[in-house]
Amino acid sequence: MAVAAEHIRTLNKYERAILAALERWMKQYAWVPLDQIKQTTELSESEVNYRLSRLIRWGMVRFNPVPYDGYALVFGGYDTLALASLSKKGTISALGTMIGEGKESVVYEALGLGPVAIKFHRVGGRSFSSARLNRDYIPDVGHCPWLVASRKSAEREYEALSLLHPRVSVPLPIDQNRHTVVMALINGANLNRCALEAPGEVLDEILVQLGEAYRAGVIHSDLSEYNIMMEDDRVVIIDWPQWIGADHPNAAATLERDVGNIVTYFNRKYLLRRDQKDALRCVTG
Ligand SMILES: Nc1ncnc2c1ncn2[C@@H]1O[C@H](COP(=O)(O)OP(=O)(O)OP(=O)(O)O)[C@@H](O)[C@H]1O
Ligand SMILES: [Mg+2]
């Protein structure tokens, strides 16, 4: 689900005001009534209808006629609001191409003070269209699960990067807005796409980084060869929204799983014979 990037530049102030009004009212409605949008934006009904039709066409808003005419923000609209805020603050001046797409996010290259990466969290996104049909999932009154969950996920990731950088080799956190995290762009490839010349040394380095994170009170929780990047010879650990604290009741089991995933990967791909228990001992010290 890409960002509606090409339409963001053509958005006018009425359309931005409607997106902001929808964001505000989605704390109370799953589908915001037209009257509420009219009142908040102080625009005429014909203006609101025209602007809404454009936002719907651009994939920023959805319409639902039952039991009343209601409108809801979708990821495209939320992306636009975040980008507008980040560009107003000067964090980002241009959006580049998509450089990554995971289960629960899409990552773009962007221009800030230098090249940066912007990660749009998409938690609950895939289930949103079916959730639209199954009306219990998104309550008529109350919160909006995908919006809240995606924002929380971005906030959590930013928190981890802030706790860890520069002690642990993670992308430098630059800014955070709504469901997005802006961070340093890593010029490299995911570990699963690398053919390492000195795999044993890289594995050792990963264990050192995990140990530093652990002593900083953070356990990754979703560690695999897909969430480690190689920037030249440097290991960079990415994708931190699921982290837990080292004092969490599941800390020991989670750390063991993280370390196990990595050791198993290296043993299998590079035919190493590293012992998982020894590796775990390297991390916990
Ligand atoms: N700072 C960055 N610089 C360069 N590329 C990045 C950066 N952050 C992420 N990427 C690329 O985008 C991809 C997806 O990012 P990430 O792993 O953080 O999210 P995700 O995989 O969607 O999360 P999940 O594991 O929940 O599915 C990464 O595998 C990586 O290739
Ligand atoms: Mg990932």
- Once rounded to an integer, what is the mean pLDDT over residues 244-272? 98
Residue 136 pLDDT > 90:
no
Q: Biggest alpha carbon distance in the chain? A: 71
Give the residue from 146, 144, 192 showing the smallest Cα distance to 32: 144
- Once rounded to an integer, what is the mean pLDDT over residues 84-101? 95
Cis omega (within 30 of 0) for bond into 67: yes
CATH architecture of 189-284: Orthogonal Bundle (1.10)
Ligand 1 atom 1 nearest Cα: 185
Q: Could you tell me the distance, in angstroms and rounded to a whole number, from the CA of residue 88 to the centre of ligand 1? A: 25
CATH of domain 5-184: 3.30.200.20
Packing angle of the helix pair 199-215, 251-270 (nearest 10 deg): 170
Would you state the pLDDT for residue 181? 98
Residue 9 pLDDT > 80:
no
Tokens of 211: 């140990």
Tell me whether residue 222 is one of the annotated catalytic residues: yes
Q: Could you tell me the distance, in angstroms and rounded to a whole number, from the CA of residue 102 to the centre of ligand 1? A: 7
DSSP 231: E
Residues contacting residue 285 through CB under 8 Å, at least 6 positions apart: 211, 215
List, chain by chain if needed, residues with CB within 6 Å of any ligand 1 atom: 99-100, 102-105, 107, 117, 119, 171, 183, 185-186, 190, 222, 226-227, 238-239
Would you list the domain boundaries of the chain?
Answer: 5-184, 189-284
The whole-angstrom separation of Cα 69 and Cα 67 is 7
> What are residue 52's phi and psi, to 5 degrees?
-65, -40
Contact between 166 and 74 (Cβ < 8 Å): no
Our mutation pick for probing the ligand 1 site, out of 107, 108, 229, counting the most ligand atoms within 8 A of Cβ, is 107
Model confidence pLDDT, tens digit, residues 11-55:
999 999 999 999 999 999 989 999 999 999 999 999 999 999 999
> What are residue 181's phi and psi, to 5 degrees?
-125, 130
Would you state the pLDDT for residue 222? 97
Relative to the alpha carbon of 193, which ligand is closest?
Answer: 1
Contact between 244 and 171 (Cβ < 8 Å): no
Identify the H or E element spanning 262.
helix 251-270
- Once rounded to an integer, what is the mean pLDDT over residues 75-102? 95
Residues contacting residue 225 through CB under 8 Å, at least 6 positions apart: 190, 191, 192, 261, 262, 265, 269
Tokens of 95: 């959006």
Share of the chain above pLDDT 70, in %: 93
Beta bridge partners of 237: 228
The whole-angstrom separation of Cα 41 and Cα 251 is 48
Residue 84 pLDDT > 60:
yes
Which residues are in the CB-under-5-Å shell of ion ligand 2?
A: 102, 227, 239
Would you state the pLDDT for residue 38? 97
With cut-offs at 50, 70 and 90, classify the pLDDT of residue 2.
confident
The whole-angstrom separation of Cα 40 and Cα 48 is 11
Q: Could you tell me the distance, in angstroms and rounded to a whole number, from the CA of residue 190 to the centre of ligand 2? A: 9
| Mean pLDDT rounded to a whole number for the chain | 92
Model confidence pLDDT, tens digit, residues 93-122:
999 999 999 889 999 999 999 999 999 999
Q: Which of 35, 140, 175, 222 is catalytic?
A: 222
Ligand 1 atom 18 nearest Cα: 239
pTM of the full structure: 0.93
